[in-house]
């Protein structure tokens, strides 16, 4: 496609609605919820090991639900499964801030249970968004659609992160409490849940995406492309695992080791998200000039390099630089990965194949989250971020090998 003419007008109605839903849902899920969930859990009196378990539970639940979500999307229609998943996601958002009101014997496991509900719904929503968008676009505008989705998701995350960083302070003033108490974070999480519900409204207006996918599935079925999908699963495990060290523990690192206020944590993360918005729009240009595969190699290497300042320099500026690099490069990486992987398989296998890739994301994120808490407790954050850099570097090498193995034609998809 012509990346220089990227605009919403070149997409059909359903594609535009799916892109808008992705951006709106990011305000609550990737913005407010992602920023404040860990900080709320810490204010409840839990330690870093519990934070690792909390994050790992969500990631492993996402992993376990990814393949079933792909199967459900293929059988019931991606739009229906997305809508149900969105409702379940909002339910999970609403459950976490109820932790203080459940019986004392349930308060230790309630956040874990809410995390399972939240990420079960998100798996149903997110796994089916990718093939739904694939079905609503053409080969000419596909890279642009995924890039625009990533850009709006980045914009939504930026807005939600900055807004979410301010909410606890506002509620602390209203309640007459300090930011060391959970009350201000509880109310802020409720705001995120309400915004998550509002984000589902455009999804209810989508009419035909599920039908398009169903028609595609009527084509003759070939065998499932096991080897290419297995290679992509291994690649995603490595790169996403490296990125997860930043995503799962950077906020806790800034809060505990660097003693930054919540507003500063939100601002540092928000700046990275803001820069990631235009960065994601580079994907169609890079794909047109080189290839999606080449883009995956370069961004994987860049993520590895971005983690080094976090590991080597214990200062907010170094954290901000590393955070900015990791978020910007991941914004380019995600749409390139989605298009590369979707075009790697036949139409009828796309939901299942992306379910496998999403499962790999959950597995790597969950493993890093679970082990990361213990790594930090034993040796500090430096070891964790160095591990992340090594994983991303290994992923770049593996993708280079995949491109060599699958041939030049595949590399230029």
30 within 8 A of 156, measured Cβ to Cβ? yes
- Looking at residue 6, its pLDDT comes to 53
306 and 326 Cβ atoms separated by less than 8 Å: yes
**pLDDT score, position 207:** 67
Residue 223 CA to its chain's centroid (Å): 30
d(CA 376, CA 287): 38
Give the chain's radius of gyration (CA, Å).
20
Q: Report how far residue 214's alpha carbon sits from residue 178's, in angstroms, rounded to the nearest whole number.
A: 53
Higher pLDDT, 116 or 269: 116
Q: Decide if pLDDT at 251 tops 50.
A: yes
Tell me the CA end-to-end span of the chain in Å, nearest whole number. Answer: 12
Tokens describing residue 348: 């009828």
Res 247 pLDDT > 60 = yes
Pick from 309-313, 315-319, 394-398 the range whose average pLDDT is largest.
Answer: 394-398
Q: pLDDT confidence of 114, banded at 50, 70, 90?
A: very high
Q: Rank 17-26, 338-347, 352-361 by mean pLDDT and report only the highest.
A: 17-26
Give 257's contacts (C-beta < 8 A, 6+ positions apart).
314, 381
Confidence label for 105 from pLDDT (cuts 50, 70 and 90): confident
What is the average pLDDT across 324-338?
Answer: 86
Give mean pLDDT, residues 39-59. Answer: 83
Q: Supply the pLDDT for residue 208.
A: 54
Tell me how far apart the alpha carbons of residues 242 and 238 are, in angstroms, rounded to a whole number: 6
Give the pair of three-digit tokens for residue 306: 């971005």
pLDDT at 221: 55
Spatial distance between the Cα atoms of 287 and 290, rounded to a whole number of angstroms: 5
pTM for the whole structure: 0.73
Which position has the higher pLDDT, 221 or 188?
Answer: 188
Q: At residue 215, does pLDDT exceed 50?
A: no
- The domains found in the chain, sorted by start residue, are 8-411 (1.20.1250.20)
The 3-state secondary structure of 2-65 reads CHHHCCHHHCCHHHHHHHHHHHHHHHHHHHHHHHHHHHHHHHCCCCHHHHHHHHHHHHHHHHHH
Q: In the 3-class helix/strand/coil scheme, how is 215-277 assigned residue by residue?
A: HHCCCCCCCCCHHHHHHHHHHHHHHHHHHHHHHHHHHHHHHHCCCCCHHHHHHHHHHHHHHHH
pLDDT attached to residue 8: 57
**Res 391: pLDDT:** 93
Average pLDDT over residues 304-320: 87
CB 58 within 8 A of CB 118: yes
pLDDT at 230: 85
**Which of the two residues, 340 and 191, has the higher pLDDT score?**
191
Residues 6+ apart with CB under 8 A from 209: 14, 18, 77, 78, 79, 132, 135, 136
């Amino acid at each position: 496609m012509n990346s220089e003419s990227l605009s919403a007008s070149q997409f059909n109605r359903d594609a535009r609605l799916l892109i808008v839903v992705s951006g709106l849902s990011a305000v609550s899920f990737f913005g407010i919820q992602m920023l404040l969930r860990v900080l709320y859990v810490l204010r409840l009196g839990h330690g870093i090991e519990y934070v690792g378990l909390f994050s790992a539970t969500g990631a492993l639940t996402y992993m376990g639900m990814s393949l079933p979500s792909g199967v459900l999307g293929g059988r019931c229609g991606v739009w229906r499964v997305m809508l149900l998943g969105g409702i379940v996601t909002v339910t999970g958002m609403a459950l976490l801030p109820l932790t203080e009101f459940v019986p004392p014997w349930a308060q230790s496991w309630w956040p874990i249970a809410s995390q399972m509900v939240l990420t079960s719904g998100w798996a149903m929503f997110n796994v089916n968004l990718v093939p739904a968008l694939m079905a609503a676009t053409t080969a000419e505008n596909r890279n642009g659609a995924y890039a625009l989705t990533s850009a709006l998701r980045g914009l939504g995350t930026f807005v939600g992160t900055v807004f979410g960083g301010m909410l606890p302070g506002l509620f602390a003033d209203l309640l007459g409490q300090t930011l060391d108490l959970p009350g201000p974070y509880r109310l802020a999480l409720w705001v995120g849940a309400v915004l998550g519900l509002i984000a589902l409204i455009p999804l209810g207006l989508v009419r035909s995406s599920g039908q398009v996918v169903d028609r595609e599935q009527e084509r003759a079925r070939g065998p499932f492309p096991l080897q290419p999908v297995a290679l992509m699963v291994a690649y995603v495990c490595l790169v996403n695992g490296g990125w997860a060290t930043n995503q799962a523990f950077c906020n806790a690192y800034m809060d505990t080791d660097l003693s930054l206020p919540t507003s500063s944590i939100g601002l540092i993360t928000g700046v990275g998200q803001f820069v990631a918005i235009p960065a994601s729009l580079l994907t169609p240009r890079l794909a047109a000039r080189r290839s999606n595969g080449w883009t995956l190699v370069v961004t994987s290497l860049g993520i590895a390099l971005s983690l080094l300042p976090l590991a080597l320099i214990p200062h907010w500026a170094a954290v901000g630089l590393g955070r900015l690099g990791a978020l910007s490069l991941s914004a380019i990486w995600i749409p390139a990965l989605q298009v590369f992987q979707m075009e790697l398989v036949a139409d009828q296998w796309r939901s299942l194949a992306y379910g496998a890739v999403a499962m790999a994301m959950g597995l790597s994120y969950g493993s890093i989250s679970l082990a990361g808490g213990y790594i930090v407790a034993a040796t500090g954050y430096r070891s964790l971020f160095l591990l992340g850099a090594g994983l991303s570097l290994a992923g770049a090498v593996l993708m280079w090998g995949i491109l060599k193995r699958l041939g030049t034609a595949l590399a230029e998809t």
